[in-house]
A and B are shown apart, each in its own frame.
Chain A
Amino acid sequence: MGADGEKDRQAPPLKGRLLARLAVLIVRHAALVSFVCCVAGIVSLMLLPVLAKSVYVDENALLPGSARATFSHYDTLKAHDLAREIQTLLSSSTDPQKDFRKWLGDRLDALGADYYFHRFCPPTRSFSILGFLSTSHTYEAGKHCLVDGREQTPGVNAVGILRAHQGDGNEAIVLVTPFELENLTAENAIAMGLSLSLLDLLSRALWLAKDVVWVAADSKYEKYTAVAAWLKEYHEPLVSDSSFEGMHYTQDGNSSRDIFFKRAGSITAGFVLEFTRGAGATKVSSLEIHAEGSNGQMPNMDMISVVNLLVSWRQQFHLTLEGVPRIKDWQWLRSVGYVFEIVGKKAAELRKAFLSHAKASFTTAEDYVNGVSVLLRSCWNQMLGVPTGSHGAFRDFQLDAVTLEVVSTDLEHNMDFLTNFGRLIEGVLRSVNNLLEKFHQSLFLYIMVSPNKFVSISTYIIPFGLLLSNFPIQAAALCTSVKATPGSWTRAILVVILVETWSLGNAICPAILFHLFSSAPTRLAVWILLSGLCLAPVFCLRSDAHASDDWYVPLKSLTLGLTGIALGILSAVNFSVALAGALLLVPMCLSAQPFSSSWRALWKPKSGVISRVNAVLAPALTCFPLLVVLTILARESAGEVGNCLITVKNFSLPSYVFCRSRRTRRSSTASKCPTSIKPVVRSPPAFTLAAKRRPPPNEDWRLGPGMYHPRLGPTGPAFSLSAKGTPNLDLEKMWMLERSRHPSPRGNWTPRRFLLSEVTPGPGTYSLPNKNSGPAFTVASKRTTKHDTDAPGPGTYFYSARPQSPSFTMANRFPPSRTCNPGPRTVYGDFYNTPGPAQYNPDRGKHIAGRSGPAFTMTGKWHRGPDSGLPGPGTYFPPQNNTFGQDIRCQHGRKLRSR
């Protein structure tokens, strides 16, 4: 870059318009600018866990936690009983398949659910590169399936559809419980028992407005396959001959026509419940959320926030996200975390000093390391494009789903945990049931940092943008630095086109050639062979014009520009891949130069330090991706090798990046690794390119309209003085009744039932009190004690909760004041300064004169104030002094107002 510096000095002074001048300035100092960009990019990348925002529920209609869950210990006991029943049934039966199906069918029938059995075969795995050239999978099942050349029995999903009473059957919520009949673990049995127990509860629920579909997914082949096969049949039914005979399975195994595939409207959301035995001796049961779908797609963030909200509200779970455990041992990362912690603390103090309301929050080093670990894992999953569970099958049909995985060591004895989990699922289902629309409100492009923190696209695009900006800057700088020799640009363009075409052909060829080879290993071999050939023409294109040292500059400039564009496009498709690509390609592309010239530069006595360093670094950096590939290959299990190859191959040449972006956009089938168990599923990706709504400035996400979180349990200071049966005042029930009396605030398209009890009094209804329910007076103590929650009471109104909303008040705004657990109808705001009706206090008026707005009291009530010496209305002073006589006569007929 020394040469650049010389040119700078010789360049004419800057002139022209500001924008042009700026561009020239940037290009002239390209080395410095790109160095700054790189450093800033890396730093802001490191800062991502610090910049993460708290999750919040964006869709207010979800009303999470607005009703108390009714799942009780009784239901848990029932779940245990059912689990035991399954296990004894399987151990005693001679034909477990048949008996189990019969048992399940009877159970579902007793619940009033429609049920059927769906038979499927795993798709034949074919290794292919470009998805859109191969046909989509079929899960058609005949009498037998051909798996790896052997005949095997097809998998059978059991499906029960609980039709909502009074629902119109337009929408459905799907609950998936994977199970494996041949190898049923205790956890698996409990998962089945819990699901059935939950279904039993739901079958009695009055609030259900959407159908609930329960899929017991036969994970004999793979969890994902079972769910994908069912969803495929649900959305793209086969009416072909073979499917008609084989698709449907009845309880006794014969092909009775009575039980066939049934549907339940459009699917709103899916939840996969998995129970696994935790490793080691840790007794703590925890709940893990998996959300990454195929090709890095994420479900709507509200799915995760609702779960997180319900978990954090009840505080009974340890909610975790999958992370990279090794990272936690990295001391350097921890020290970086300490640095951020110290800086964050200082910043918080400063902020507090200037803004009195600001919350002093900062990320501790521990949080930071955990955040990095989760973030990396999330990015890694997105980059691989392999769904992290069977929820990925839902995303392929543009449905939102998450997996809730319970990791526990002794579920059999952990009664409370199971009950809480049941309550959680009930709460989540109820919340989704409240939803009137499909999930559309919240983010789709985000990366989780911790269960309650996320990084949205508006944040994580910044480091990427900084890294990406190197490409155009360097391309422009190279472009201007070289003296255009005739033909050099033409030659560069020709080379790039040639390489691109060759790569494209190379990418498409295997897909075509694969039709000639049937076995997977042959296909892989062909693919590797062709990929290797890909580099051949590059070596053939030897430079014959060694006249100048910078013959390669136009080529490099062009490649840089193309790479930048390709990465930019890719970031919209799969951000993690693009970010990884940028991290690899930035050093590689910027330092690329012919070996011969760098060699020469190293030994040339005249060359500067920068040139020498550059000469050493360039080959090293160019080889870096190769090293990464080898490292990944060595570390990763065989199952993911194929994917890594595909992923990495995409970076080996910009052309591949380009191909990849095309593929991901258009493809409709997966690339398959022969050795892999997990399919790389590709599906039409859905993007939201729009900026999403920002979270409300108030950190407390619970204060949305219509949200109500009564503090349950003994914390509420409520006393019942009557012969009422319940010792605790059921705040929630009161609120629900309150709601039911008022018209539904949510429009009248689909009335949802808010009733807790079956009987709601109609107009004019009068019921005589029975002996138990005498006049019940509830005396609640004044809420003066401080509780650790800010949950507002029913009917609470915040003056200043949402300052951004248009609010019209005839008085001054008051700063928000904090009170705890207010009573019903509490009016927040300046609670003691606001005059109540008929209240007049001139004393207080003095104190608040500076702050209060004009207060109007429309009443005749009057308190005698202190004697201010002013005459009141109607006061009459007979003239004491003759000097006033004239004035008084003049004001004849009017009341004396002032002296």
Chain B
Amino acid sequence: MDLPFALAFVLLLTSCYAIDEDFSEELLLRPLPDGNVLAHFHFASTLPPVDHYGVHHRLFPKAIFQLVRKFRIKEMELSFTQGRWNYQRWGVGDPIAQLAAKPVGVELTASLDVPEAEVDSTWGNLTHALSGLFCASINFLESPTTFLEPWFSKSSRTRYGALPREAVCTENLTPWLKLLPCRDKAGLTTLLDRPTIYSGMYHSQRLIITSGDFDRDEEGTTLEQTLTVVLRKPAVSEGLSSKLQDWTLSGLFGSKLEGKCPLATTSSVYLELEESLAKHLAGDLSKETRINFVDNRVFSLSSAPSRVLASLSGSLLLEYEAGTHSELDLGVTWRAPVDWSPARGRFYTSRYLAGSGNARGSIVISFRANDGPSGDCYSPGIEAVEYVDIMILQMIPWYVRLYGHTLQVSLDGRNVEFWSVVRLMRFTPAEDRKAPAAVEIALRVSIATQAVTLTIQYDKGFLHIDEHPPDANRGFDLPSAVITFPRCRVFKQFQSDDVGHSHILAVVQSQRPMQIYSEVSLMQLATPDFSMPYNVITLTCTVLALYFGSLLNALRRRIGEEERESKGT
């Protein structure tokens, strides 16, 4: 092949397929009320509709494209999380918290565009593929005892599974970074200093894939990669009246932000000020342009934002273009001790195991009303004024034997008739070694309710000796309950509609129901002493031998005969 022809071919290729591929990188920083800093990295790659399989892409990772094509993934969300999202201190009802808060370990939700009968097998294959791609034990989700089909989901081809025990580390981050066109060589990813992000208080990396209809190919595929870290506040100085600490990008991540990823169309950094903090800046937020952000009475910023976005509820987003600054070292220096509270949901939710011992117990999910502001929860409809809807999805492993009749609801400390509160319920009993139990409940309670408690009792089952994980004495993790408030929409509406190509702003603006995850609980089962089988076998054999020996002796012995014989001799 001669050179001009090859060049022409390459030009043709790039002109045909690469024009609409798009990549954007964004970082949102938010000072948290307890002095820590939330950093939310958001990378998005979009791929226009293509009609080829195995085509070359300029920006979009081929591995993901092949996954999408092969398993016909309509939607998929995969998250790796370490640490707990502190709902009370870091917020519940805002879009970023919604995106950031994930259960400990690995969580995978996938909606597959395959015939019903093939969904489970495709899911199995998908878990294996992801397992290889991200160096994680996602393949454990292949076992039918670990995933379920949520009833409340949009389609019946959705599967949900969680591995609360999966540990997350750099080995999962590296393949995740490889999907980015600039890897961690340029742009925002240069901030991802591994020791820093892994010594933070919370770390959650996600992969969200959405693709259009496979048969029509109109929408293309979008890959969103987000990484949320909550970084510990810098060293505490003694005797400070406020918990707040000054921070800069270089102080947090160890390096300044130098330039942007050359392949990214958008590369911006946002500093978000929550409404309760923004209120300290000025009484009237409609005049946000008047506020001197660089130097005001509450804090001073190291550099001036290029744009300020104000939401209708009052929170502020200061935007910085990463490309325009040769070196961006965003930082906040606090001037006055301010105290603000994060957006908290209506309820403080917790799930725990009651009871002690290895025989039985009960699972309790409790909601206690917060008396603070109930957060950015937009509830359409008139009913929402009087009622709160709560949906609970709880997957329970088969070795926890639930007693359905013990399911009880109490409101404000009083047991109430079950169906007076529960609107819908699906209770799928577990099958031993085949399927987990699934409890899905939709509750509707009055808005004045102060406490809702759901309890269900269980017996603990016995596992075969080979079914125990390597550290069985640690206990067995019960996956988080997924709690959704379907009528409570979480989003932020900006005063100016111009959000540009920003994906992060698009996410913030989109209306989603509020969703929170409960804690992961540890359940102790009756664990055999693994060093004991030998002793048990010997003891049992001895007892059996003694028993049968003496029994046979007593049954078969003829004493009279013996006496006669002894006399005879």
Residue B259 lies at the interface, judged by CB distance under 8 Å to chain A: no
Contact A436 B474, beta carbon cutoff 8 Å: yes
- CB-defined interface of B463-480 with A at 8 Å, one 1/0 digit per residue? 000000011011101000
Kindly provide the distance from the CB of B343 to the nearest chain A CB, expressed in whole angstroms: 15
Contact B203 A265, beta carbon cutoff 8 Å: no
Determine the residue in chain A with the shortest Cβ distance to B104: A168
Contact A262 B165, beta carbon cutoff 8 Å: no
- CB-defined interface of B77-101 with A at 8 Å, one 1/0 digit per residue? 0000011101011000000000000
CA distance A765 to B196 in the complex (A): 12
The segment from B52-60, B220-228, B309-317, B349-357 that touches chain A is: B349-357
Residue B566 lies at the interface, judged by CB distance under 8 Å to chain A: yes
Residues on the A chain within 8 Å of B150, using CB = none
Contact A171 B354, beta carbon cutoff 8 Å: no
Point out which of A168, A262, A684 has the most chain B C-beta atoms below 10 A from its C-beta: A168
CA distance A262 to B105 in the complex (A): 23
* A166 and B520 in contact, given A206-B199, A440-B529 (Cβ under 8 angstroms): no
Contact B83 A168, beta carbon cutoff 8 Å: yes
Contact A691 B352, beta carbon cutoff 8 Å: no
Residue B415 lies at the interface, judged by CB distance under 8 Å to chain A: yes
Contact A235 B354, beta carbon cutoff 8 Å: yes
Contact A438 B232, beta carbon cutoff 8 Å: no
The segment from B8-16, B153-161, B262-270, B450-458 that touches chain A is: B450-458
**Which of B164, B195, B243, B470 interacts with A761 by CB under 8 Å?**
B195
The secondary structure that dominates the A interface is loop
Residue B64 lies at the interface, judged by CB distance under 8 Å to chain A: no
Contact B415 A170, beta carbon cutoff 8 Å: no
* A168 and B164 in contact, given A436-B474, A438-B524 (Cβ under 8 angstroms): yes
Residues on the B chain within 8 Å of A265, using CB = 519, 521-522
Contact B532 A690, beta carbon cutoff 8 Å: yes
**Which of B357, B455, B473 interacts with A440 by CB under 8 Å?**
B473
Residue B131 lies at the interface, judged by CB distance under 8 Å to chain A: no
Contact B82 A166, beta carbon cutoff 8 Å: yes
Residues on the B chain within 8 Å of A693, using CB = 531
* A257 and B450 in contact, given A165-B83, A235-B356 (Cβ under 8 angstroms): yes
Residues on the A chain within 8 Å of B348, using CB = 260
CA distance A398 to B355 in the complex (A): 11
Residue A263 lies at the interface, judged by CB distance under 8 Å to chain B: yes
Kindly provide the distance from the CB of B209 to the nearest chain A CB, expressed in whole angstroms: 27
The segment from B289-297, B376-384, B406-414, B419-427 that touches chain A is: B406-414
**A window 312-344: CB within 8 A of B:** none
Contact A257 B195, beta carbon cutoff 8 Å: no
Contact A398 B357, beta carbon cutoff 8 Å: yes
A-B interface pairs (CB < 8 A), number: 140
Residue B368 lies at the interface, judged by CB distance under 8 Å to chain A: yes
Residue A204 lies at the interface, judged by CB distance under 8 Å to chain B: yes
Contact A437 B473, beta carbon cutoff 8 Å: yes
Contact A762 B195, beta carbon cutoff 8 Å: yes
CA distance A519 to B510 in the complex (A): 67
- CB-defined interface of B163-192 with A at 8 Å, one 1/0 digit per residue? 011010110000000000000000000000
Residues on the B chain within 8 Å of A262, using CB = 350
Contact A762 B194, beta carbon cutoff 8 Å: yes
Interface size bracket, B side: 35 or more
CA distance A163 to B230 in the complex (A): 14
Contact A398 B165, beta carbon cutoff 8 Å: no
CA distance A260 to B371 in the complex (A): 12
Contact B354 A236, beta carbon cutoff 8 Å: yes
Residues on the B chain within 8 Å of A690, using CB = 529, 532, 535-536
- CB-defined interface of B436-453 with A at 8 Å, one 1/0 digit per residue? 000000000000001101
Residues on the B chain within 8 Å of A114, using CB = 88
Residue B369 lies at the interface, judged by CB distance under 8 Å to chain A: yes
Kindly provide the distance from the CB of A426 to the nearest chain B CB, expressed in whole angstroms: 18
Kindly provide the distance from the CB of A161 to the nearest chain B CB, expressed in whole angstroms: 11
CA distance A693 to B84 in the complex (A): 38
Residue B202 lies at the interface, judged by CB distance under 8 Å to chain A: yes
Residue A777 lies at the interface, judged by CB distance under 8 Å to chain B: no
CA distance A758 to B521 in the complex (A): 29
Determine the residue in chain A with the shortest Cβ distance to B196: A759
Contact A171 B167, beta carbon cutoff 8 Å: no
Residues on the B chain within 8 Å of A241, using CB = 413-414
Residue B508 lies at the interface, judged by CB distance under 8 Å to chain A: no
Residue B552 lies at the interface, judged by CB distance under 8 Å to chain A: no
Kindly provide the distance from the CB of B19 to the nearest chain A CB, expressed in whole angstroms: 35
Contact A263 B413, beta carbon cutoff 8 Å: no
The segment from A123-131, A545-553, A748-756 that touches chain B is: A748-756
Point out which of B86, B167, B527 has the most chain A C-beta atoms below 10 A from its C-beta: B167
Residue A96 lies at the interface, judged by CB distance under 8 Å to chain B: no
Residues on the B chain within 8 Å of A257, using CB = 368-371, 450
* A240 and B413 in contact, given A397-B356, A749-B474 (Cβ under 8 angstroms): yes
Contact A760 B521, beta carbon cutoff 8 Å: no
CA distance A242 to B470 in the complex (A): 44
CA distance A256 to B350 in the complex (A): 18
Residue B34 lies at the interface, judged by CB distance under 8 Å to chain A: yes
Point out which of A204, A240, A260, A691 has the most chain B C-beta atoms below 10 A from its C-beta: A260
Kindly provide the distance from the CB of A136 to the nearest chain B CB, expressed in whole angstroms: 12
Contact A748 B167, beta carbon cutoff 8 Å: yes
Residue A72 lies at the interface, judged by CB distance under 8 Å to chain B: no
Residue B193 lies at the interface, judged by CB distance under 8 Å to chain A: yes
Kindly provide the distance from the CB of A21 to the nearest chain B CB, expressed in whole angstroms: 14
Residue A890 lies at the interface, judged by CB distance under 8 Å to chain B: no
Determine the residue in chain B with the shortest Cβ distance to A244: B413
Determine the residue in chain B with the shortest Cβ distance to A240: B413
Point out which of B352, B474, B524 has the most chain A C-beta atoms below 10 A from its C-beta: B474
Kindly provide the distance from the CB of B374 to the nearest chain A CB, expressed in whole angstroms: 13
Residue A608 lies at the interface, judged by CB distance under 8 Å to chain B: no
Contact B368 A260, beta carbon cutoff 8 Å: yes
Residue A619 lies at the interface, judged by CB distance under 8 Å to chain B: no
Residue B404 lies at the interface, judged by CB distance under 8 Å to chain A: no
CA distance A166 to B85 in the complex (A): 9
Residues on the A chain within 8 Å of B455, using CB = 239
Contact A759 B195, beta carbon cutoff 8 Å: yes
**B window 512-569: CB within 8 A of A:** 519-524, 527, 529, 531-532, 535-536, 566
Kindly provide the distance from the CB of B567 to the nearest chain A CB, expressed in whole angstroms: 11
Residues on the A chain within 8 Å of B523, using CB = 266
Residues on the B chain within 8 Å of A436, using CB = 471, 474
Residues on the A chain within 8 Å of B199, using CB = 166, 206, 753, 755, 758-760
Residues on the A chain within 8 Å of B170, using CB = 762
Contact B34 A112, beta carbon cutoff 8 Å: yes
Determine the residue in chain B with the shortest Cβ distance to A243: B413
Point out which of A237, A243, A397 has the most chain B C-beta atoms below 10 A from its C-beta: A237
Residue A245 lies at the interface, judged by CB distance under 8 Å to chain B: yes
* A438 and B473 in contact, given A168-B83, A169-B519 (Cβ under 8 angstroms): yes
Kindly provide the distance from the CB of A788 to the nearest chain B CB, expressed in whole angstroms: 35
Contact B371 A256, beta carbon cutoff 8 Å: yes
Contact B352 A263, beta carbon cutoff 8 Å: yes
CA distance A748 to B137 in the complex (A): 11
Contact B473 A749, beta carbon cutoff 8 Å: no
Contact B451 A244, beta carbon cutoff 8 Å: yes
Residues on the A chain within 8 Å of B350, using CB = 262-263
Nearest first, the 6 closest Cβ-Cβ pairs linking A and B are A244-B413, A437-B473, A170-B522, A762-B194, A397-B356, A166-B83
Which A positions have Cβ atoms within 8 angstroms of B? 15, 110, 112, 114, 163, 165-171, 204, 206, 235-237, 239-245, 256-258, 260, 262-263, 265-266, 397-399, 436-438, 440, 684, 690-691, 693, 747-751, 753, 755, 758-763, 765
6 extra A-B contacts, CB within 8 A, seeds A690-B536, A749-B470, A755-B199: A15-B566, A112-B89, A166-B203, A244-B451, A437-B474, A690-B529
* Residue contacts A-B, CB under 8 angstroms, 30 given: A15-B566, A112-B89, A112-B243, A163-B86, A165-B232, A166-B82, A166-B200, A168-B83, A170-B475, A170-B477, A204-B236, A237-B364, A240-B413, A242-B413, A258-B370, A258-B371, A258-B372, A260-B368, A262-B350, A266-B524, A397-B356, A398-B357, A437-B474, A748-B169, A758-B195, A759-B195, A759-B196, A759-B199, A760-B199, A765-B195
